[in-house]
Amino acid sequence: MKLTYRSTMLACYNGYITQAISINLAPLLYLTFQSAFGLSVGAISSLIAVNFSTQLLIDFLASRFSDRMNLRFFAVLAHVLVAVGLAGLSIFPMILPPYIGLLVAETLLGIGGGFTEVLISPLMEACPTEEKSGNMSLLHSFYCWGQAGDVLLSGIYFSFFEIEESWRFLPFLWALVPVVGAIAFSVVPIYHLPGDGEGKHSSYRRLFGMPLFFCFLLMMFCAGAGEMTMSQWSSAFAESALGVSKALGDLLGPCMFALMMGLTRALYGKFSHRIDLHKMMILGCIGCAGAYLLSAFAPHPAFSLLGCTLCGFSVGIFWPGVLSRASEAIPTGGISMFAILALAGDLGCLIGPSVAGGIADMLGGELKWAFCFAVIFPIVCLVTLLLYKMLYNKRKERL
């Protein structure tokens, strides 16, 4: 079989499923780690911080040294590291002090996931396709399918097997996904963005000298914050508001959120030739703000949960939409631009939920105040989106 750019696109889809697994599998096992290894809540929290902090570091390093990166080598390496990190969740605590072993595994997952996030979007963007924005949106929908599949399939696994006895086998099963990705990226065609590898892409100084680029940075931050605040707190909200179990809370909260976010991205990917991306992002900002307010102030918990679901549908277009607009406006940005934007998005993922949770804690611990505060993210994104359009149109007029 002749491998074409379509083979590369399939490998990229698998890459975003790998990214989802690298972030979302370990949290499903945190309570198990606590009971099996006697870890404190603080120790578990540090595992979360290590994964995200490592991804942020990789985003930064990739933005600085993108000229020297062999794309095929690092794409394969990213998947290998995720596979080893997943297997390490089971193996490392047996051969090292348990906490140290889990830290090593999370670090490997963070490095592999960071490289995956930095490389997969520009690899997809470089493929010789017509509907760039649609393909980017469809690509990012696979992160959502990976996140939802991780929760659903892991839940099904534990419904058949005792978690205390069988949890060690689950990471090995999920490690098959990045193994397939490593094999795929070792053979599929690799395409390059204009200027990459030729020293022609936009330098740091030029990127940060563009007002447009600051618009994209702010929108990416808001995209990450708006997405992750609801995703991270929706399970706890479902449990507290509806009084359901943790397992059902995961299904009603983050799983439904991920499915609706994936649905938005897949629909736009399918019908991008008929939809104005700018108008869709504006509607997404308005819908996201409304969904947060509905979750915070609905008269019945069921409507609050509906707000969580609608938030996923509304926020889905933010991340891939910003990347597509940035690639269109700054075509010579190269991998360094994608890496810096990923860094801004990850900062939003890290800071947004933490600040929202802190505000809710100060106001009595009710999560509705976290959601009320989070309205600021889609509003800022909306204002910045309108500013970007104005600046972009002025630049086109000058040209």
What band does 21 get if pLDDT is binned at 50, 70 and 90? very high
Q: Are 16 and 41 members of one domain?
A: yes
Q: How does residue 339 score in pLDDT terms, banded at 50, 70 and 90? A: confident
| Shared-domain flag, residues 233 and 163 | no
- Asked if residue 176 and residue 245 are part of one domain, the reply reads no
Is there a single domain that holds both residue 132 and residue 12?
yes
At 188-201, the pLDDT tens digits run 999 887 655 554 45
The DSSP line for 20-44 is HHHHHHHHHTHHHHHHHH---HHHH
Q: Look at residue 317 in the predicted model and tell me its pLDDT.
A: 92
Q: Which of 131, 157, 192 is the last residue of a domain?
A: 192
Does 255 lie in the same domain as 399? Answer: yes
Instruction: Name the more confident of 230 and 382.
Output: 382
DSSP string spanning 366-390? -HHHHHHHHTHHHHHHHHHHHHHHH
Average pLDDT value for residue range 331-348? 87
Residue tagged 């794409």 (tokens):
75
- Output the domain CATH number for residue 269: 1.20.1250.20
Residues 260-315 have pLDDT tens digits of: 999 999 999 988 888 899 999 999 999 999 999 998 888 777 787 888 889 999 99
More confidently predicted of 137 and 392:
137
- Percentage of the chain with pLDDT > 70? 91
CA distances from 32 to 39, 93, 163, 178 (A): 10, 13, 8, 23
So what's the pLDDT on residue 95? 93
Give the model's pLDDT for residue 247: 63
Q: Give CA 378 to chain center in angstroms.
A: 17
CB 180 within 8 A of CB 76: no
User: What pLDDT, on a 0 to 100 scale, did the predictor assign at position 7?
Assistant: 94
b/e sequence 287-297, b meaning 16+ C-beta within 10 Å: bbbbbbbbbbe
Q: Which pLDDT score is estimated for 218?
A: 95
Residue range of the domain that includes 12: 1-192
Using CA atoms, how far residue 111 sits from 22, 79, 182, in Å, is 10, 10, 15
List, in sequence order, the alpha helices (H) in the chain.
5-28, 30-37, 41-65, 71-95, 98-126, 132-160, 163-166, 170-185, 204-208, 211-242, 246-250, 256-271, 277-297, 301-315, 318-329, 334-362, 367-374, 376-398
* Statement to judge: residues 188 and 203 lie in one domain: no
Which has more confidence, 52 or 15?
Answer: 15
Regarding whether 119 and 39 lie in a shared domain, the answer is: yes
Which of 96-105, 152-161, 246-255 holds the top average pLDDT? 96-105
Q: Same structural domain for residues 223 and 329?
A: yes
* 123 & 161 share domain: yes
pLDDT of residue 72: 92
Contacts with 113 (C-beta within 8 Å, 6 or more apart), sequence order: 18, 19, 22, 23, 51, 55, 78, 82
Is residue 293 domain-shared with residue 186, that is, in the same domain? no
Query: Does 255 lie in the same domain as 148?
Result: no
DSSP state of 193: -
Residues 56 and 157 in one domain: yes
Q: Which of the listed residues 141, 176, 192 is the one where a domain comes to its end?
A: 192
* The model's pTM: 0.87
Q: What integer best gives the mean pLDDT of the chain? A: 86
pLDDT score recorded for residue 229:
86
C-beta separation of 337 from 330 below 8 A: yes
Residues whose CB falls within 8 Å of the CB of residue 132, separated by 6 or more in sequence, listed in order: 125, 324, 327, 328
When pLDDT is averaged across residues 126-137 and rounded to a whole number, the result is 89
Average pLDDT of the residues in 101-121: 93
pLDDT digits (tens, 9 = 90+) for 63-96: 777 667 788 999 999 999 999 999 999 999 999 9
Express each pLDDT in 354-381 by its tens digit. 888 888 878 776 778 888 999 999 999 9
Question: Which residue reads 């939802």 in tokens?
Answer: 148
Q: How far apart (Å, rounded) are the C-alpha atoms in residues 297 and 314?
A: 18
Question: Domain count of the chain?
Answer: 2
How far apart (Å, rounded) are the C-alpha atoms in residues 350 and 53?
Answer: 9
How sure is the predictor about 249, in pLDDT bands with cuts at 50, 70 and 90? low
Q: What are the structure tokens assigned to 98, written together?
A: 């348990």
Domain final residue pick, 157, 173, 192: 192
Stretch 204-228: mean pLDDT, rounded? 88
**pLDDT for the residue numbered 250:** 64
